[in-house]
Structure 1
């Protein structure tokens, strides 16, 4: 009997340790940070305070690049309800974002009519990752670290991470839309 009770307590402790990210002690919120725009101007993320944001690392020469169309559609659908997409170009995955900021901006506007914010090209993983991605990992764990282009991080109105989605999940998938609607 003692062994079963001990085992039950041990399993419970292990299970609850997986929920640690939900109880993260945020020293800073998403809205306390900033990042430079594709035009090299500071984007103070406090301007998104009270909004839901889908942060997506992007690349122009990736097999997932067509997701720009879905991201724009998603943005258009929910922008009037307090939602935004922020695209973060990165060249860390297969060298698939080799262009300059000007080339990236022209590509996005010409091919996909992007109207949501696009940031300066930055690192999104590793020791040189942008502060925004270091903040995400520190507060929510490894699921925020992109494994490839078009990884998505959903930020809620409180400036905390609500969920993450891998590149294979379409921005217009039921899974993402359900979570966006939940936190709008």
Structure 2
């Protein structure tokens, strides 16, 4: 049976991100873009990373997956994306290389997320959020309209993060 921990992605800065390194930790996977109306969500994602993520030994891992699939809103190079995210929002959580997240060219992780979540979970725009539980299964997904600082989102993240 496949879990989120079975996937590897190219990293934005080169190399590879092996999700198995976070086995047993909850994951929040977000398809991102730098030139989108939802881009300010990076700020709340970074806040979650600082408060529930890297500062907590078994805390939430946030993984951004930049994509140019929607409105061509991530046109830049890896250096452009990294620089923008750090300068504008102080992003320090892991970022994958720019990847396709929909259609026949979608990376395997996003094909798996779509299969696990069903038809409505397929990303239709930037900043879809996929919450993975400690067993590596899709717990819940959220559209871009649900901000990372929305009470219902935070409740679900905290329930997943602090459930042992």
Q: Per-residue displacement from partner, 1:85-134 (whole Å, max 9, x unpaired)?
A: 10000001101000011110011011111010000000000000000001
Q: Please, which of 21, 38, 41 is the counterpart of residue 47 of structure 1? A: 21
Show the 5 A alignment for 1:8-157. Answer: 27-79=1-53, 80=56, 81-157=58-134
Aligned residues: 158
Tell me, which stretches of 5 or more residues in structure 2 are unaligned? none
Structure whose alpha-carbon radius of gyration is higher:
1
Tell me, which stretches of 5 or more residues in structure 1 are unaligned? 1-26
Higher helix share: 1
Q: Please, which of 149, 163, 166 is the counterpart of residue 140 of structure 2? A: 163
| Residue 181 (str. 1) matches residue 155 (str. 2) | no
Question: TM-score, length-normalised on structure 1?
Answer: 0.83
Structure 1 residue 74: deviation in Å?
1.1
Q: Distance in 2 between matches of 1:142 and 1:101?
A: 30
Q: Per-residue displacement from partner, 1:18-73 (whole Å, max 9, x unpaired)?
A: xxxxxxxxx21100111011012111100111111110000000011111101001
Tell me the C-alpha RMSD between the 2 structures: 1.0
Deviating beyond 2 angstroms after TM superposition, the runs of 4 or more aligned structure 1 residues are none
Structure 1 residue 138: deviation in Å?
1.9
Check conservation: 2:27, 2:131, Cα contact below 8 A: yes
Check conservation: 1:50, 1:82, Cα contact below 8 A: no
